[in-house]
Structure 1
Amino acid sequence: MKKLINAPHSVVPDMLAGLVAQSPDLALIAADNVVLRHPLPEPERRSVALVSGGGSGHEPAHAGYVGAGMLTAAVAGDVFTSPSTDAVLSALRACAGPAGALLIVKNYTGDRLNFGLAAELARNEGIPTEIVVVADDVALRDTVEPARRRGIAGTVLVHKIAGAAAEKGASLSEVARLASLAASRIGSMGVALGACTLPAVGHPGFALGENEIELGLGIHGEAGVSRASLRTAAELAELMIGTIADDLALAPASRVALLVNGLGATPPMELAIMAGEALGALRRRGIGVERVWTGTFLSALDMPGCSLSVLALDPELLPLLDAPTEAPAWPRGGATAPYGGINLETPRHSGEALAEPTPAVGTASGEAVRQAAIAAAHALIEAEALLADLDAKAGDGDLGSSLARGSQAVLALPASSWTTPSAALSAMGQALRRAIGGSSGPFYATALLRAARALEGASDPSPRDVATAFSEAVGAIATLGGARVGDRTMLDALQPAADAFSATVESGSSLTVAWENAARAAEDGAAATASMRPRLGRASYLGERALGIEDGGARAVAIWLAAVAETTSADVTLG
């Protein structure tokens, strides 16, 4: 397993040094792996100090929450290992004044022992010290009593609430009370799609099958409470929110805050999906979501998966969540949109018809275009996996899904779209520009719209009209993208096809032969791209590493042209 580290034994000090090097507001006690605010006021002027921490590997926790309005200091142990008593005591000595300190501890044996002993030693030294333990993991509700549950991502919300109270000048007993109140009103549950890898171990802590997940896992790379089959985001959110809501006894009209937390290897895309589903699961229960935050707040190294934390609010807690903080890892904001979000209609051009036009009587040529388009669309849908694989080897992997999505849009066009070849090509171009992002959409839309203009007014175009439209469409793609034949793009299949089509028409052969010759030329052109060094597009970044791989765009052209050729007959104008 590859890691961007210097050595397994130095990951924690190296990480903390890099973190502090980025901020003039933080300082490091390197011998004890303690990060604290800098500069601090004179001891007599200090408010209640908040100290938290635990094993490393949970970044941005805990050092990311050091800052005005949250933690005063964070103590980092080795990866997934509690910091020592002496390290915690060092943090207390460095940041606590006469107002005292509150230790916020996740409910793990090592943390409770070391933070607890450090608190006792600090009290002996005259430092008023209290402890609040967070045990928010509701996945263990049927396994252990509430006081023995693990502390997971909900701990970050306790940091925020206690930090805001301390920043306002509340006493140690009041800060501890509010932190305890918050901890008692939080429920969290996690799901993992795979294991994490400890730097010193070098391999995942457990193995999951292709369609397996772990439900109710902790934050130290351990397996979950149960193993289950892979489910959709909606199903997982419903399960997790249902478990949390039952545990917290959330009634309709309850008001909550929601934290959607990535475990280290979950992209923002998936976290946003989970956030939307979790919001829906809460609101379907009549529960009002006042605040929501999404991101990676307390991770488990590189574990793929997420946890959901729900905090049942009361009038004291929400203002503390909203209070400002300078902690770098806190995301700010959190306000929610109305149920379902704010959705607007797509802006339209003032001259664009809003209603579907009345169907007109179609021509034989329009019907021929429809049959060809249907055949091409089905061929591209069937080739989705092949095109995705080719594109992934030399691009970003989205070609197959993009063309399949565009094909579905073409298949969904109403009957009124196919009255004439020009109308049909224009409708297809508009459908593809709406359905396909990336580069394929603009290329195909531009080509089809250019061909439509070339055939405008011709309800029954001649073979030469068709050849001209074909050539103009290919020229439009070349102009738009700046590519030439030999650059290893879709043009390496399209240009030979258009040339072969025109030459066949000029020779007096039938359209059937012209389309067959065009399809053969496209096939040869697509195959030739495997030996070309790419000069445009994402494949150009690979240089010679792309050799031996066909260009996906050129292969797609060969696929749909072969389908068009199969639909043609000698007495059909456009095939």
Structure 2
Amino acid sequence: MKKLVNGPRAVVGEMLEGLVSLSPGQALLEGESVVVRADTPAEVHQREVAIISGGGSGHEPAHAGYVGVGMLHAAVAGDVFTSPSPDAVLAAIRAVSGPAGALLVVKNYTGDRLNFGLAAELARAEGIPTEIVVVADDVSLRDTVEPSRRRGIAGTILVHKVAGAASASGAPLAEVARQAAATAAELGSMGVGLGPCTVPAAGRPGFSLGAEEIELGLGIHGEQGVRRVPLQPADALVDTLLETILEDRRIGSGDRVALLVNGLGGTPPMELAIVTRRALAVLRERGVLVERAWSGSFLTALEMPGCSLTLLKVDDERLRWLDAATAAPAWPGNGRLAPARQRRPVPPAPAPVTATAEQPGMARFKEAVLAVADALDAAESVLTELDSAAGDGDLGISLARGAAALRALPESSWANPLRALMAMGEALRRSVGGSSGPFYATALLRAARHLTDATPDPKAWAGAFLAGVEAVAELGGARPGDRTMLDALQPAADAFARALEAGQSLANAWEACVLAAERGVEATARMKPRLGRASYLGERVLGVPDAGAAAVVVWLKPLFRYVAQ
């Protein structure tokens, strides 16, 4: 087990210390795993209806992240995935409630219901009015258990928000409880897990999944789901989750809802955004009016990869509670949506230069460029492997995209060398990702500026080559010896220019150019990188040639038979 913990027994206490230290509006209850609002009045008669929630730890930012003005007054944390004791819950009730009473928001798990329920009885015996609202929003269990026995999952956060806002408005306990219960009754949630999580005390995953398997309808405690199915694209999974929620909650065209896209702890914002995109699209297609939507990790299951979707029916009153201000550190904001498909037009590019007649030799020039494109395609796997050793492994596919863009250039691009180089630079700028696109585009554009519409002679081409290499050095700030593409480019351009100056034939000059580049690539295997991602790895990349330098040789070589004739 690899986790940033000091020991399983210390996890909860040390976590709460860290969370509260970053939240000026919160405080820890001495001797208890309870987070309370720091502004709780000392005089109990001044206290509003206290909203208290909690459960096992491992669901962060729930529940401590929702303690703040306008949401929870206290959160009670048990051990990881373990309900807190009734004594801890009672301590929280005593710490933040008074004659106005307390509302306990409880997720529908046996341990939580028992411990929070017993604490409520003890509080009532002490004269503190106490009510309980149970959240059972997991619709994946619709065919397994009766509605009252469903699990409480991520929709609980929305109940916190409504109850907290109602309390902050000054409403009495009965009204706060009514609003919270009505909200819980209109919730529907369902989750999907792409893998398990590991409870620190257990030290091993709660279940295992094949590489192409996922769990549909799982809870928030690292347990398996309702059924195991093959891995599917994000859109298909969203469709499945939403279909179940919409059917169970009887949500259809014209209904108003709030949407919560919740990560389970191991899902990056990128994937949650993809899920959100599809969920909004499906709901709009069905005529469902999405009034508010949030995407993020709100109630998690440690590091589990996956997500859940929640829909809550809303009306104007419920929207006012959701929109009410809160200082809870984990509340994601107002949830207002941008207009559907909000897009703006791209500013137009300058008008293209009027086409001129094709210069002699440009058909062969185009053939040479297409030969380069073929060579880049053939080298994709080799370049990917080299780049993976010291970078992010995307060079092969990036240059393959560049090759496709070169092939797609219109015939007007091949009128003369100047026009061709500029068009190639534009194509690579748009198609090649990472650093390679800007480097090659800049080199080609700079080289084009050194040519005229007249047919260039070999020395003019050599000057253009050197100018392009200089542009790469300027743009990236590298120099030969830094283990970059310049370690192949610079010696190649220098060798080509020197050979021509010495009166060698064009074929011999290009042969010297390619040989110098190959030697440069070999030398990079012995260089400690100074720039780029490889520099983070230091000596670990020694023995492997630089991928960017190797790519230079890939496209130089096929040019030989066109240059030599």
What TM-score comes out, normalization by structure 1 length?
0.93
Does 1:113 pair with 2:114? yes
Q: CA deviation at 1:510?
A: 5.3
Change (3 A) 1:196 1:389: farther
CA distance in 2, matches of 1:423, 1:63: 62
Equivalences for residues 54-69 of structure 1 within 5 A: 54-69=55-70
5+ long unaligned stretches in structure 1: none
CA distance in 1, matches of 2:181, 2:458: 81
What's 2:339 paired with?
A: 338
Change (3 A) 1:358 1:250: farther
| From 444, 461, 483, the counterpart of 2:478 | 483
CA distance in 2, matches of 1:210, 1:140: 25
- The residue identity in structure 1 corresponding to 2:106 is V
5+ long unaligned stretches in structure 2: none
Change (3 A) 1:55 1:284: same
Q: Report SS of the residue matched to 1:243.
A: helix
Q: CA deviation at 1:364?
A: 4.6
On the 8 A contact 1:391/1:398 being kept in 2, the answer is yes
Q: Report SS of the residue matched to 1:32.
A: coil
Does 1:369 pair with 2:365? yes
CA distance in 1, matches of 2:193, 2:200: 19
| From 529, 540, 548, the counterpart of 2:543 | 548
Does 1:27 pair with 2:27? yes
What's 2:491 paired with?
A: 496
| From 375, 382, 386, the counterpart of 1:379 | 375
Q: CA deviation at 1:519?
A: 3.2
Q: CA deviation at 1:509?
A: 5.4
CA deviations 1:487-537 (Å, max 9, x no partner) are: 100011111222333344445555455444433432332232111011222
- Larger mean CA deviation between 505-514 and 299-308 belongs to 505-514
CA deviations 1:288-334 (Å, max 9, x no partner) are: 11111111101111111111111111222111111100000001121
What's 1:104 paired with?
A: 105
Q: Report SS of the residue matched to 1:81.
A: coil
CA distance in 1, matches of 2:16, 2:438: 47
| From 514, 539, 560, the counterpart of 2:555 | 560
What's 1:243 paired with?
A: 244
On the 8 A contact 2:217/2:226 being kept in 1, the answer is yes
Change (3 A) 1:369 1:202: farther
| From 427, 438, 441, the counterpart of 2:437 | 441
- The residue identity in structure 2 corresponding to 1:552 is A
CA deviations 1:43-84 (Å, max 9, x no partner) are: 111111001001000000000000000000000000011111
CA distance in 1, matches of 2:284, 2:156: 24
What's 2:403 paired with?
A: 407
Equivalences for residues 100-499 of structure 1 within 5 A: 100-340=101-341, 342-348=342-348, 352-353=350-351, 361-458=357-454, 460-499=455-494
Q: Report SS of the residue matched to 1:291.
A: strand
Identity of aligned residues (%): 63
- The residue identity in structure 2 corresponding to 1:40 is T
Change (3 A) 1:136 1:383: farther
Q: CA deviation at 1:30?
A: 4.2
CA distance in 1, matches of 2:356, 2:127: 91
On the 8 A contact 1:515/1:568 being kept in 2, the answer is no
CA deviations 1:116-170 (Å, max 9, x no partner) are: 1111111111111111111111122222222111111111111111111111011
Q: Report SS of the residue matched to 1:549.
A: coil
| From 526, 530, 536, the counterpart of 2:525 | 530
Does 1:16 pair with 2:7? no
CA distance in 2, matches of 1:406, 1:182: 53
Change (3 A) 1:313 1:512: farther
Q: CA deviation at 1:110?
A: 0.8
- Larger mean CA deviation between 360-369 and 56-65 belongs to 360-369
CA distance in 2, matches of 1:173, 1:383: 71
Change (3 A) 1:136 1:373: farther
On the 8 A contact 2:23/2:329 being kept in 1, the answer is no
On the 8 A contact 1:365/1:421 being kept in 2, the answer is no
- The residue identity in structure 1 corresponding to 2:200 is P
Change (3 A) 1:569 1:550: closer
CA distance in 1, matches of 2:362, 2:320: 65
On the 8 A contact 1:511/1:568 being kept in 2, the answer is no
CA distance in 2, matches of 1:265, 1:364: 59
